[in-house]
Amino acid sequence: MPSLRWVSWILIAHLFVLTFVRSDSSSYSNKPEEIPKKFLQFAKEPELFDWMVGIRRKIHENPELGYEEFETSKVIRTELDKLGISYKYPVASTGVIGFVGSGQPPFVAIRADMDALPLQELVEWEHKSKVPGKMHACGHDAHVAMVLGAAKILQKHSEELKGTVVLVFQPAEEGGGGAMKIIEAGVLDNVNAIFGLHIVHNIPHGEVAARSGPMLAGSGFFEAVISGKGGHAAIPQHSIDPILAASNVIVSLQHLVSREADPLDSQVVTVAKFQGGGAFNVIPDSVTIGGTFRAFLKDSMIQLKQRIKEVITGQAIVHRCNATVDFLENDKPIFPPTVNDKELHEHFQNVAGDMLGIDKVKEMQPVMGSEDFSFYQEMIPGYFFFLGMENETSGHLDSVHSPYFRINEDALPYGAALHASLATRYLIELQSKVTSPEQKQHDEL
Ligand SMILES: *[C@@H]1O[C@H](CO)[C@@H](O)[C@H](O)[C@H]1NC(C)=O
Ligand SMILES: *[C@@H]1O[C@H](CO)[C@@H](O)[C@H](O)[C@H]1NC(C)=O
Ligand SMILES: [Zn+2]
Ligand SMILES: [Zn+2]
C-alpha cells in the first residue's frame, strides 16, 4: 500500500508538472488572438527594430538587379546563420529559402523580393545607394528586412510553431519572373499557403489594404519591328513608309480595349516606345514600337496577346510593310493577375485586425499595376497586401519607382510582425481544422 501511494503521488506530481509546462510553453496558442499584438510589440523593441533598420540600410547602399543579388543574399544568409535558421542556397540563382519551426508539415510560406531597379537615386541621405545607376526604389530592401525580422520573431517561438514556416527570399521581381524560377525549383511543393506584402507611400503608417479576388492586373510586354523601304522623303512613291504604317498600327491597337473588351473588364494597351527615322528628309527602312498590356482575367490576357500580334502584322500589311512581333517572354515573362484567396482574405482580416484594429484594415480597389507574386497564387492559395508608411511628419512621399522614393522605417516592425503573425496563426488554424476533438484527447493521453 505505501509504495502504491508513493507511485500515485509521483504520478500526480508528474502530471502536474506536465500540465504546467504544457500550458506555459503553448501559452500563445491558447490565445491566438493575442499573438499579433505581442509580435508587434516585440518587433518594435530596439533589439529587433534597430537590427532591421541596419539590414535595410546596408542593402539600400548596395542595390543589385534581378538575378545579381549576390551580396544581398550573402547578408540574408549571414543573418540566418546567426539566428541558427537552416536554409537552402542557391535557389533560382540568388534566392535563399529558410525554414523555421518543426521542420515537419504543414508548411506555410512568407516571401520577400530582393532586387533593385536600374535607376539613379536622387535622395541625398547618409545611406544613399553607392552604386551609380542602381537604386532600391521599390522598397525590396525593406521587404527583405521585414522577412528577416519575422524570422527572428518566429525563431524565438519556433518550438511552439505547429509546423514549418518557409522563408522565401526571391530574386528578380522587377520583370524577371523570379517567382516562376522559385516555383520551378520546387520550393512550393507541399506548401499550403503563401503571404507577401508591398510597402506603399500613399497609405497611412499603421494601416494595411487589400482585397479578396483580383487585386493587381496581369501584365505582358511586346516589341514590334515594322519594316518598309527607305528612301527620299520628297519621292514617297519610291519608298514604303514604315512611319505611317506604325502610326496606323498604334491607332488600331487602341481599338482593342475600346471596341473588343468588355467595358466592365478593365484592360490597358499602351504603346510606350516609338523609334524610327533620324533625318527630316529621309524615310527610314524600319520603325520599332513597344509597350505593355494589362488585364485582370487570364483569358483577357491571352486574347489581348493574340490580337496585338494580329493587329500589328495585319495593319502593317495594309501599308505594304512587314512586321515581326516579340513578346519578350524569355526576359520578361507574362505575369498572371494577382488574385487573393477568399479564405486567406478572412484570415488576413482577422490577424491584421487583431494587431491594428479592424478600422486600420482597408478594402482596396484593384489597380492595374502587377506583381510576380501572382505566379505563386496560380500554384497555391496566396495573399498579397499593401502596408502603409505615410505619416504627418514624413511629408510628401514619392511613389515606388521614383528616384526620390524614401521609406519610413517605422513600417518595418509592422511588416515583420504581420508576416510572423499571419504564418503562426495560419498553422494554428490548420491544426485545429485537421485535428478532431477526439484525436486531440487521444494525443493528450
Ligand atoms: C515582306 O516580306 C515578303 C516575303 O518575305 C517580301 O517579299 C517583301 O519584300 C517584304 N516587304 C518589305 C517591305 O520588307
Ligand atoms: C514619420 O516618417 C518620417 C520619415 O520616414 C520618420 O523620420 C519619422 O520618424 C516618422 N514619424 C512618426 C511620428 O512616425
Ligand atoms: Zn517595382
Ligand atoms: Zn516592388
Residue pLDDT, tens place only, 207-222 = 999 999 999 999 999 9
- 362-367 — which CB contacts under 8 Å span 24+ positions? 362/203, 362/207, 362/208, 362/209, 362/210, 363/209, 363/210, 363/211, 364/209, 364/210, 364/211, 364/215, 365/211, 366/211, 366/214, 366/215, 366/216, 366/217, 366/266, 366/296, 367/215, 367/216, 367/217
Give the per-residue pLDDT at 394. 73
Number of continuous H segments (helices) and E segments (strands) in the chain: 13, 16
Q: Is the pLDDT of residue 192 over 90?
A: yes
State the pLDDT confidence band at 433, using cuts at 50, 70 and 90.
confident
State the pLDDT confidence band at 355, using cuts at 50, 70 and 90.
very high
Residue of the CA atom closest to atom 10 of ligand 1 = 322
SS3 content of the chain, % helix, strand, coil (to 5): 45, 25, 30
Is any atom of ligand 2 closer than 6 Å to the C-beta of 398? no
Residue of the CA atom closest to atom 6 of ligand 1 = 322
Percent of the chain with pLDDT over 90: 87
Answer for the pair 234, 281: CB distance below 8 angstroms, yes or no: yes
Q: Is the pLDDT of residue 107 over 80?
A: yes
Q: In this predicted model, what pLDDT tens digit does every residue of 143-190 receive, in sequence order?
A: 999 999 999 999 999 988 999 999 999 999 999 999 999 999 999 999
Q: Mean pLDDT over residues 24-50, rounded?
A: 85
Give the per-residue pLDDT at 435. 64
What is the rounded average pLDDT for all residues in the chain? 92
State the pLDDT confidence band at 29, using cuts at 50, 70 and 90.
low
Would you give the DSSP letter of residue 251? Answer: H
Å from CA of 138 to ligand 3 middle? 5
Q: Mean pLDDT over residues 267-279, rounded?
A: 97
Give the per-residue pLDDT at 68. 98
Is any atom of ligand 1 closer than 6 Å to the C-beta of 242? no
Å from CA of 126 to ligand 2 middle? 16
Q: Mean pLDDT over residues 98-115, rounded?
A: 97
Per the model's pLDDT, the better-predicted residue between 441 and 223 turns out to be: 223
**Grid cell locating 312:** 500589328
State the pLDDT confidence band at 27, using cuts at 50, 70 and 90.
low
Is any atom of ligand 1 closer than 6 Å to the C-beta of 155? no
State the pLDDT confidence band at 11, using cuts at 50, 70 and 90.
very low
Q: Is the pLDDT of residue 298 over 60?
A: yes
Å from CA of 165 to ligand 3 middle? 25
Give the per-residue pLDDT at 395. 76
**Grid cell locating 306:** 493574340
Amino acid at 183: I
Per the model's pLDDT, the better-predicted residue between 138 and 439 turns out to be: 138
Give the per-residue pLDDT at 318. 98
Å from CA of 325 to ligand 1 middle? 15
Helix (H, G, I), strand (E, B) or coil at 44: helix
Q: Which ligand is nearest to the CA of 199?
A: 4
**Comparing 11-25, 57-71, 324-338, which segment has the lowest mean pLDDT?**
11-25
Å from CA of 138 to ligand 4 middle? 4
Residue of the CA atom closest to atom 8 of ligand 1 = 322
Is any atom of ligand 1 closer than 6 Å to the C-beta of 73? no
Å from CA of 388 to ligand 2 middle? 12
Q: Is the pLDDT of residue 2 over 70?
A: no
Residue of the CA atom closest to atom 3 of ligand 2 = 394
Question: CB burial class (10 A; 0-12, 13-18, 19+) of residue 219?
Answer: buried
Is any atom of ligand 2 closer than 6 Å to the C-beta of 408? yes
Report strand pairing: 95-101 vs 86-91: antiparallel
Q: Mean pLDDT over residues 377-395, rounded?
A: 92
Answer for the pair 67, 80: CB distance below 8 angstroms, yes or no: no
Q: Is the pLDDT of residue 22 over 90?
A: no
**Grid cell locating 72:** 544581398
Give the per-residue pLDDT at 159. 85
Substitution site in 226, 312, 322 for ligand 1 pocket (most atoms within 8 Å of beta carbon) = 322
Helices assigned H by DSSP within 157-210: 178-184
Q: Determine the atom of ligand 1 nearest the C-alpha atom of 240.
A: 13
Is any atom of ligand 1 closer than 6 Å to the C-beta of 240? yes
- Unique residue bearing C-alpha cell 478572412: 346
State the pLDDT confidence band at 369, using cuts at 50, 70 and 90.
very high
State yes or no: cis peptide before 90, omega within 30 of 0.
yes
Å from CA of 34 to ligand 2 middle? 27
Give the per-residue pLDDT at 325. 98
